[in-house]
Amino acid sequence: MVYSTTLLLCYCSFGAGEREKPDEPTGEQTAWNAMRKVKIMLVLLAVISFFTSCEKQPENVSKQYSITWNRQPGYENTVVILECNDVGDVIYNHSTSFRQGMTKTFSSQPTSTKVKIHVTINSVAGNTVGYVQQVFYLSPNQTTSIVINENTLIGNNQP
């Protein structure tokens, strides 16, 4: 008897038989539908913002360059190194001194893609100030070798 009563209650409560559907939803149904739509929109917004906010992190790529000075023995020369980005903006610079036969190695900034060099060459005849007339492009995970010697062109304008 208990079994048949429970079965009858379940059958009736889950829509057995035909029921009339109201033409217009009640106020409670309208509020429920609106809240449901808001919840769906919030979930979609959260999912979309999650995927659009994920940026690919730049790989940790090391870029190094070495400068070898093979010009005029006996004089100390000043070199200003200009590290530039893709569009040519200087993003970092530093100054160092060189003598004949010296080689120095530098690590570049992560966003540097090329190097320009400004030199002050000291000699008996006087100082020569200018830019090495070449741009040196940096290769990822390699050391770019730069040699400044008697054949290196020095000019007044940035290359």
Residue 38 and residue 114 in one domain: no
The predicted structure's pLDDT at residue 7: 41
My answer on whether 80 and 47 are in the same domain is no
Residue 7 included in any domain: no
> What pLDDT, in 10s, does the model give residues 6-59?
444 444 444 445 555 556 666 667 777 778 888 888 888 888 877 776 666 556
Whether 135 is in a domain gets the answer yes
Any domain includes 8: no
**Per-residue confidence (pLDDT) for residue 19, from 0 to 100:** 53
What residue type is 148 in one-letter code?
I
Number of domains in the chain: 2
Q: Whose structure tokens read 């429920």?
A: 32
pTM of the model: 0.60
How far apart CA 159 and CA 142 sit, in angstroms, is 23
Average pLDDT along the chain: 80
Tens digits of residue pLDDT in 137-150:
999 989 999 999 98
Amino acid at 98: F
Whether the per-residue pLDDT at 89 is higher than 50: the answer is yes
Q: Say if residue 115 is in the same domain as residue 38.
A: no
Res. 81: pLDDT tops 60: yes
Query: Would residue 133 count as lying in a domain?
Result: yes
Are 82 and 36 within one domain?
Answer: no
Distance CA 122, CA 124 (A): 7
**Residue 70 to residue 136: CA distance in whole angstroms:** 17
Residues 124 and 68 in one domain: yes
Region 117-125 average pLDDT: 85
Does one domain contain both 103 and 143? yes
Task: Give the pLDDT band (50/70/90) at residue 68.
Answer: very high
Q: Exposure of 118 by Cβ count < 10 A (0-12 exposed, 13-18 middle, 19+ buried)?
A: middle
The more confident residue out of 85 and 44 is: 85
pLDDT, position 49: 78
Query: What percent of the chain is predicted at pLDDT more than 90?
Result: 38
**Is the pLDDT at 131 greater than 70, yes or no?**
yes
